[in-house]
Structure 1
Amino acid sequence: MPADHTHHLAEHARQRHDQTLRRAQQTLTELTDAGEHVTVARLANQAGVSRSWIYTQPALLDRIQQLQQHRSSADFVRNTVTQATDDSLRQRLALAHERINQLRTENQQLRDALAHAHGQLRTARLNTDDH
């Protein structure tokens, strides 16, 4: 009767699976650290595994979904902050223009008052010189 070596095959298959899983997890970490958008197709391509294999790995799928949801939330927050920043900058610009106009008006009033004061001084000097 031939020897049963199926346990060796099973052990080799388990080791290969573990190595592939570690490679996929490492690639997922690298993509995340690089700020890349993570998809099943991108992970499969980068890790050198098939998409169908990834779909059989619930832990990897869960992690990919978490990253996609986190990225969607971060994009929403970033877009909201950018919009708020744009709106606040527009408002600050409008207020700055308003203040500039106020200062122009005040500046003109001061010039007019100064010209009037110079006129009064000149008149007073002319009156003192005549006496």
Structure 2
Amino acid sequence: MARAAGVSRSWLYTQPDLRAEVERLRAERQRASADPVPARQRASDASLLRRLEAADEPNRRLAEENRQLRDQLARVLGDLRAARLQNPPVPAARRQGRGSTTIGPC
């Protein structure tokens, strides 16, 4: 704008009426660039809802699979714990036929 008028930008901004016009034009340009998508190009609420439901379905399946795996893991860990309580592990020294040895003074 300043170049087209052959004046400096600093001079433009010292003129209250010109500065106001520059700011108005700048705000108008920002509003124009922020305009929403035209109504005929916008997705309907029903379409958006279907897309959301379609995107949500894999999440539901994964959540159910995670629940089943957690249940399965809990059962296996419970069985393992019960087996250990019924049959405690034998220390390595006893498995090889050696008992504990007391060491006396030298």
| Range into which the TM-score falls when normalised by the shorter chain | 0.3 to 0.5
Greater relative contact order (Cα < 8 A, sep 6+) = 1
Normalised by the size of structure 1, how large is the TM-score?
Answer: 0.35
Comparing both structures, which one devotes a greater share of its residues to helix?
Answer: 1
Normalised by the size of structure 2, how large is the TM-score?
Answer: 0.42
